[in-house]
Amino acid sequence: MSEHIVSVRIYFAIFLVLLIGTGLTAWVAFFDFPGPFNAVVALTIACVKAGLVVLYFMHLRYSARLTWVVFLAALFWLAIMFALTFSDYSTRDWLPIF
Amino acid sequence: MEEFKVPPPSKVNYLNVDYGLKSWLLTRDHKRIAFLYLGSISVFFLIGGVYAMLIRLELLTPHGQLLTSTTYNKVFTQHGIIMVFFFLIPSIPATLGNFLVPIMIGAKDLAFPRINLLSWYIYLLGGIVTVYALLAGGVDTGWTFYVPFSTTFSNSYVIATGLGIFISGFSSILTGLNFIVTIHTMRAPGMTWFRLPLFIWAHYATSLIMILGTPVIAITILLLAFERLAHIGIFDPAAGGDPILFQHLFWFYSHPAVYIMVLPGMGVVSELIANFSRKNVFGYSFVAFSSLAIAVFGFLVWGHHLFVASQSVYAGMIFSFLSFAVAIPSAVKVFNWSATLYKGSISYDTPMLYGLGFIGLFTIGGMTGLFLAALATDVHLSDTYFVIAHFHYIMVGGTLLAYLGGLHYWWPKITGRMYPEGWGRFSALVVFIGFNLTFLPQFMLGYMGMPRRYHYYPEEFQVLHVLSTAGASILGVGLIIPAIYLLWSMRYGPKAAPNPWHLPGLEWRTQSPPPTENFETTPIVTWEAYEFAPIEEMKVIGKFEESKAEV
Amino acid sequence: MAESYAAEPEVVHHPALQHHFENMEQQREAGTLGMWVFLVTEIMFFGGMFLAYTLYRGKYPEAFAVASNHLDIWLGGINTVILICSSFTMALAVYCAQVGKQQLQIIFLILTMIFGGAFLGIKAVEYREKYRDNLIPGRLIPGRPFDPAVNPHGAPHDPHKLTLIGNSSVRQVELFYWIYFAMTGMHALHMIIGLGIMCFLLYFSIRGRYGPEYHNPIEISGLYWHFVDIVWIFLFPLLYLLGRHMGGHG
């Protein structure tokens, strides 16, 4: 069972996209979007960049299913920590007495 | 029953293959590392036990005559810290788990033996730092380190103790990492997931919790330490911070931590119940999946420690519901163990006595947890002795009993010697009686309003406290006796056969004690877990041919 | 999967095969899985700090914007580019190991370390600026508590002073800097550890230890390094960019 060797061309392409993404996120930060969209845009770009690093630089795209499960489990647990903690903070002022 | 080639007996095993301090302190053998852990964990248990005796002695009288209030705060804090972080969390995984996981899956060692040894040294370092902090003056914040007392007002060694716990956390993480990788990649040919002993499933689930939860307590302790050092205000309302954030972060780990403590115990009990009833576990896959379910659900309930801490009541409702849900997989296990016993061929050896004790006491502990999971009753019971009794029923009545049961069960495999069965049964009984006498009154005390962490109390509670202390003394005796005879048996106990209990598990198909690489040849597994046959056939497994005996 | 691991007697083992493994394939699989599991712990570790950040940013958006604008976007941006370059060179180092180009592999490893060092150097410059402007939170530095100068209202913009907007207060700005130092400091610590690991890799690469049949240490060190890059990919917008739309100067 040999490993998959990713070509230099793909690495270079991802590298370029990452650089463009960095410039984009810095440029877009100065525009005032309504509501929470500044954060949404910034995080979306960050997620895309991070996703490219994980899939190609870290070879997740070519890895065994178990590796996918491990990585997705981490994201899931992070989501649990955020979601349930914010279930407290975001509902604190729902009732006047609390 | 299929053929299994039994290896010829040999006088060389993992204990006598090499002598000298260096061969132990630099070993890569998971069995020796388990032994090292066994020794160090016992020392910490003794320290924690001494603190427990101090607590019980202090509580004999209602007016706190033995210790000052600050000292009493330090005593219960340190009892909690030592017992939780340096005994309960490592106990079964680091001793029995380290020893048995490779053998039960048919491997030669864990995936990363040097990391295994490193985890022991890290555990020791954390323990030494913590003991230093205790000797230097101790810490009085409660093992939960709530802010703002721990960051601003306590004059005790919070940071040093926190550092010790932080360090020992890495030991936990490395153990869990090792187990997960080993179980995934090093199972012997034919050892499919559903042929694994339930002990392995339980340790796998435990390792998941270790991996996912421990880093959060690490960052929490760091934040706490920096807050105490630099007074920035991350948990200080005057500066815009929130003290409840600390509690969220702390309990995000510390609740799953209690499942780190109990899941391995459940794994041991599955082995004890099945093997000493000579019957396959009822609903094997249900028990296996319930271990995973406990690991996952255990992460969803931490807010039940914050019900009365000004957490939003809506979050409280969610956490309360989830806390009821997490009881379900545990209940599944209790039902399945009971069904396993039904029509089994039960032998009341010492390990089985501990296993049966676990089922009863864990059930009581678990059910009392339901009172605490319900929001309304929790308001009354929170921070009372009811909570203390609840978790001691699970930690002591559960985990400790499982630990003792497992130690006795696998003692012949680990040491090659048999313990004295009469003394074993006697001390199991003493432990059971002593334990219940200690903690049953505490349920009543809590319900009647006795707050936890207090050493002054109303006169009318004294009778129950005296009963509890009497029980603690009996429990202490019941725990000292096995320490003595187990040590004695290592030298003078009768030598054990490879399969003294006549059981089908893979660990019984190699020598007692095993050779360094566990098996002479890699086993090829063709049988299901817990495949029992009439005892005459069972006696063949592990019996060595006389003509091939090595001199 | 388990079937292929039965040991065969009389087989010449690769010198790097550890004896509790049946073959190199199993060893490689275990090592890679081990590193991914370790990265899970790192995700949860940093996750706690991201949680604190999210909470306080939600509570004090204006103070966080003020503090964020006060950071140097150029230094932060350059650092982001540097780290992306280092991830690229690290991926190329792994590639060269896979195809047996040993000399090139060593060069890319060295380049990665240079980029990493450059990142840390720029971080040191940033930290020193904060020290000079009394922006180290709390009483971490004895004798130099958190005490930044504030631009008086209407005065011309002074980059060494804070320009408060809306309801923000200096104490809330201090919370931001606490999180800033905690997160970038922890990130920098992980980078230093990564550089240390690469020193070992470099030493063994020069000794000719790695090749197409055995290069798992480089691969898994690469995984670690990419993870450190990913943390920064999130830190850059969250720490440096979130307030820019609320009025440029900090």
pLDDT tens digits, one per residue of B189-204: 999 999 999 999 999 9
Q: Is residue C30 part of a domain?
A: no
Domain at B237, CATH number: 1.20.210.10
Asked whether the beta carbons of residue A94 and residue B312 sit closer than 8 angstroms, the reply is: yes
**CA dihedral over A58, A64, A69, A72, signed as positive or negative:** positive
User: Distances from the Cα of C239 to the Cαs of A35, B233, C54, C123, C181, in angstroms?
Assistant: 19, 19, 11, 14, 10
For B470-528, the pLDDT digits (tens) are 999 999 999 999 999 999 999 999 999 888 998 888 999 898 899 999 998 889 998 88
Nearest-CA distance A65 → chain C (Å) = 11
Confidence of residue A32 (pLDDT cuts 50, 70, 90): confident
Whether B7 maps to a domain, the answer reads no
pLDDT of residue C1 exceeding 70: no
Alpha carbon distance, N-terminus to C-terminus of chain B: 30
Q: Which residues have C-beta within 8 Å of that of residue C20, sequence separation ≥ 6?
A: B107, B108, B109, B110, B111, B113, B186, B517
Q: What is the pLDDT of residue C107?
A: 96
Cα within 13 Å of Cα(B64), Cβ side: 14
Residues from chain A that touch C32, judged by Cβ atoms under 8 A, are 63, 67
Ordered by start, the domain boundaries in chain A are 1-62, 64-98
What is the rounded average pLDDT of the residues B352-380? 96
* pLDDT > 90? residue C104: yes
> Cβ contact (<8 Å) for B216 and C47?
yes
pLDDT of residue C7: 52
Q: Is residue B15 part of a domain?
A: no
DSSP string, chain C: -GGGG---TT-PPPTT--TTSSSHHHHHHHHHHHHHHHHHHHHHHHHHHHHHHHHHHHH-HHHHHHHHHTS-HHHHHHHHHHHHHHHHHHHHHHHHHHHT-HHHHHHHHHHHHHHHHHHHHHHHHHHHHHHHTT-S-TTSSTT--S---BPPTTPPP-TTSB---TT--HHHHHHHHHHHHHHHHHHHHHHHHHHHHHHHHHHHHHTT--BTTB-HHHHHHHHHHHHHHHHHHHHIIIIIITTGGG-S--
- % of chain B exceeding 70 in pLDDT: 95
Residue ranges making up the domain that contains B236: 21-548
B551 has pLDDT over 50: no
What's the pLDDT score for residue A42?
93
Choose the closest CB to C137 out of B181, B214, B232.
Answer: B232
8 Å CB contact of C223 and A58 = yes
In B5-149, where does DSSP find H-type helix? 21-25, 30-58, 69-81, 89-92, 98-105, 113-136
| Cβ within 8 Å of residue B383, ≥6 positions away | B308, B451, B452, B453
Q: What is the CATH number of the domain that holds C161?
A: 1.20.120.80
Residue C169 confidence (pLDDT): 86
The mean pLDDT value of chain C amounts to 89
**Is it the case that residue B386 has pLDDT exceeding 90?**
yes
Residue C161 scores a pLDDT above 60: yes
Q: Give pLDDT tens digits for B104-125.
A: 999 999 999 999 999 999 999 9
Tell me which chain B residues have a C-beta less than 8 angstroms from the C-beta of C139: 229-231
pLDDT on residue B159:
94
Grade residue B55 by pLDDT with cuts at 50, 70 and 90. very high
Mean pLDDT of B445-452: 95
Give the H or E element holding residue B256: helix B243-276
CA B363 to mean position of chain CA atoms: 16
How does pLDDT run across B291-336, given as a tens digit for each residue?
999 999 999 999 999 999 989 989 999 999 999 999 999 999 999 9
Round the average pLDDT of chain B to a whole number and report it: 92
Mean pLDDT of the B55-73 span? 93
Of C40, C92, C233, the CB nearest to A70: C40
Contacting subunits of B (3+ beta carbon pairs below 8 A): A, C
Confidence of residue C5 (pLDDT cuts 50, 70, 90): very low
Cα–Cα distance measured from residue B277 to residue B345, given in angstroms and rounded to the nearest whole number: 5
DSSP state of B193: G
A85 contacts in C (CB within 8 Å)? 51, 55
Quote the domain boundaries for residue C95: 42-246
Q: Is the pTM of this model over 0.80?
A: yes
B112 touches C: beta carbon within 8 Å? yes
What is the count of structural domains for chain B?
1
CB contact under 8 A, B173 and C3: no
Candidates C5, C8, C10, C20: best to mutate against B (most CBs of B within 10 A) is C20
Q: Is the peptide bond before C142 cis (omega within 30 degrees of 0)?
A: no
Q: Do A25 and C33 touch (CB under 8 A)?
A: no
Count of domains forming chain C: 1
* The dihedral formed by the CA atoms of B393, B399, B400 and B402, expressed in degrees to the nearest 10: 120
Supply angle C-alpha A85, C183, C64, rounded to 5.
Answer: 70
pLDDT digits (tens, 9 = 90+) for C119-135: 999 999 999 999 988 88
CB-based contacts of C10, cutoff 8 Å, min separation 6: none
Which chain C positions have a beta carbon within 8 Å of B241's beta carbon?
Answer: 56, 175
Minimal Cβ distance to C242: which of A39, A85, A89: A39
Bridge partners of A91, per DSSP, are: none
| CB within 8 Å: C234 and A50 | yes
In this structure, are residues B322 and B297 in contact, taking their beta carbons and an 8 Å threshold?
yes
Q: How is residue B96 annotated by DSSP?
A: I
Q: Is residue C66 part of a domain?
A: yes
Instruction: Provide the number of CB pairs (under 8 Å) joining chain A to chain C.
Output: 121
Measure the N-to-C terminal CA separation of chain C; round to a whole number of Å: 58
Interface of A with B in 56-75 (CB under 8 A): 66, 73-74
- In three state form, how does the secondary structure of B127-141 look? HHHHHHHHHHCCCCC
| DSSP symbol at B62 | T
